[in-house]
Amino acid sequence: MKQTTIQFNFDETKLEAISIYLKTKEGTLNKELEDFMESLYKKTVPTAVREFIEKKAGQVEKESQRPGKRSTTRSSRNTADEEMIDRVSPTEN
Q: Please check whether residues 53 and 92 belong to one and the same domain.
A: yes
Q: How many domains does the chain have?
A: 2
Distance CA 33, CA 29 (A): 6
**Domain span holding position 29:** 11-44
How much is the pTM? 0.59
Encode the chain (93 residues) as per-residue pLDDT tens digits: 789 999 999 999 999 999 999 988 888 999 999 999 999 999 999 999 999 999 988 877 777 777 765 555 555 455 555 555 555 545 444
Q: Please check whether residues 51 and 92 belong to one and the same domain.
A: yes
Q: Which residues 6+ apart lie within 8 Å of 84 measured at CB?
A: 49, 52
Q: Please check whether residues 51 and 76 belong to one and the same domain.
A: yes
In a domain, residue 5? The reply is no
In a domain, residue 69? The reply is yes
Q: Please check whether residues 52 and 88 belong to one and the same domain.
A: yes
